[in-house]
Amino acid sequence: MQSSNHSLCLFEPSLALEEIALVDAKLSFAEHFYSHDAANNLFTLLINETEWRQENIQVWGELHLQPRLTAWHGDSGTEYSYSGINLRANDWTPTLLKIKNDIGVATGLQFNSVLLNLYRDQRDSMGWHSDDEPALGRNPVIASLSLGATRTFKLKHKTKLEQKILSLDLTHGSLFVMGGSTQHHWQHSIAKQTRTIAPRINLTFRQITFPSTK
Ligand SMILES: O=C(O)CCC(=O)C(=O)O
Ligand SMILES: [Mn+2]
């Protein structure tokens, strides 16, 4: 439910995306894509409006509960499969459409779906992976908005072991974009921590390629 305190029209994002140099990757980052107040506003809206689910995933043939909550929204017909889960898209909400539009203006790109992750505390995490599902097509662009507590996003090269792991603090209101061949060459993760960490929401906007248009 939206109250006047949480109006979507009160803020505009900053468009300043800066490149992060990394071999075999194309990365850019805007630390203050949304102001602190705008990011607070979006965090509150998304926590309350989202039907958060804890999905079972298959790891080495065994079912486990994912160590975070998720939701999938997108254009009708977009569906997403990973680790044995099949997600049918929920409709766009005004909040998600506003963010999608702001990111579209900043990047010049269109997205047709978004995966929302809620890391409830320091015990929630995301294991090493690449966003390289066939439905994302070749050289996908993934636009990642972070809200709430800062978590460290790590990138490690798949084959060039001399490349150091890159650690990037994804702060409240920041936008991080991965494109080019990043997903071919690098894996990324969010590790569990031992110190107490407040909740964090991450939204990754994606463009799903429909089989019929391939
Ligand atoms: O939470 C993050 O920053 C990463 C999320 C992610 O890698 C994903 O949704 O595929
Ligand atoms: Mn990912």
Question: Among the atoms of ligand 1, which is closest to the Cα of residue 188?
Answer: 7
| pLDDT tens for each residue of 25-54 | 999 999 999 999 999 999 999 999 999 999
| Architecture of the domain spanning 15-213 | Sandwich (2.60)
Q: Which pLDDT score, from 0 to 100, does residue 211 have?
A: 55
Protein residues placing their CB within 5 Å of the ion ligand 2: 131
Protein residues whose CB sits closer than 6 Å to any atom of ligand 1: 115, 117, 126, 131, 144, 153, 170, 188, 190, 202, 204
Calculate helix-pair angle for 36-49, 94-107, nearest 10 degrees: 140
Mean confidence (pLDDT) of the chain? 91
- Rounded Cα distance, 199 and 136, in Å: 28
Nearest CA to ligand 1 atom 8: 204
pLDDT at 4 over 60: no
Whole-model pTM? 0.92
Write down the pLDDT at residue 90: 95
- Domain spans, the chain: 15-213
Give the model's confidence band at 111: pLDDT under 50 very low, under 70 low, under 90 confident, else very high: very high
Coil, helix or strand at residue 118: strand
Evaluated on CA atoms 76, 80, 85, 90, the torsion sign reads negative
